[in-house]
Amino acid sequence: MGKASYIMLDCDNTLVQSERLAFEACAELTNIVMEKHNLEARYTAESLLEDFVGHNFRGMLKGLQQKHNFTMEDAELEDFVEQELGAVTRKLSEKAVECPGVTTELNKLKEQGYPMSVVSTSAKSRVVASIEKAGIDHFFDPKHVYSAASSMDKPSSKPDPAIYLFAAEKLGVKPEQCITVEDSKSGATAAMRAGIPCIGYVGIYGIEEGKEKMEQMAKILTEETKCAAIMYDWKEFQECLKKVEAKL
Task: Dump pLDDT digits (tens) for 20-36.
Answer: 898 898 999 999 999 99
pLDDT at 121: 92
Q: Which of 95, 119, 143 is the last residue of a domain?
A: 95
Out of 95, 110, 134, pick the residue that ends a domain.
95
| CATH, residue 149 | 3.40.50.1000
The reply to whether 58 falls in a domain is yes
pLDDT band at 1 (very low <50, low <70, confident <90, very high): low
The structure's pTM equals: 0.86
119 plus 145 within the same structural domain: yes
1 within domain boundaries: no
Q: What is the pLDDT of residue 31?
A: 97
Q: What is the 3-state secondary structure (H, E, C) of the chain?
A: CCCCCEEEECCECCCEECHHHHHHHHHHHHHHHHHHCCCCCCCCHHHHHHHHCCCCHHHHHHHHHHHHCCCCCHHHHHHHHHHHHHHHHHHHHHHCEECCCHHHHHHHHHHCCCCEEEEECCCHHHHHHHHHHHCCHHHCCHHHEEECCCCCCCCCCCCCCHHHHHHHHHHCCCHHHEEEEECCHHHHHHHHHHCCCEEEECHHHHHHCCHHHHHHHHHHHHHCCCCCEEECCHHHHHHHHHHHHCCC
Q: Which residues pair with 119 in a beta bridge?
A: 146
Residues 107 and 210 in one domain: yes
Number of domains in the chain: 2
Q: Are residues 128 and 75 in the same domain?
A: no
Same domain, 192 and 136: yes
Domain co-membership, 164 together with 102: yes
Are both 149 and 221 inside the same structural domain? yes
227 and 170 housed in the same domain: yes
Distance linking the first and last C-alpha atoms of the chain: 6
Tens digits of residue pLDDT in 91-130: 999 999 999 999 999 999 999 999 999 999 999 999 999 9
Which range marks the domain in which residue 27 is found?
Answer: 20-95
CA distance 227 to 222: 5
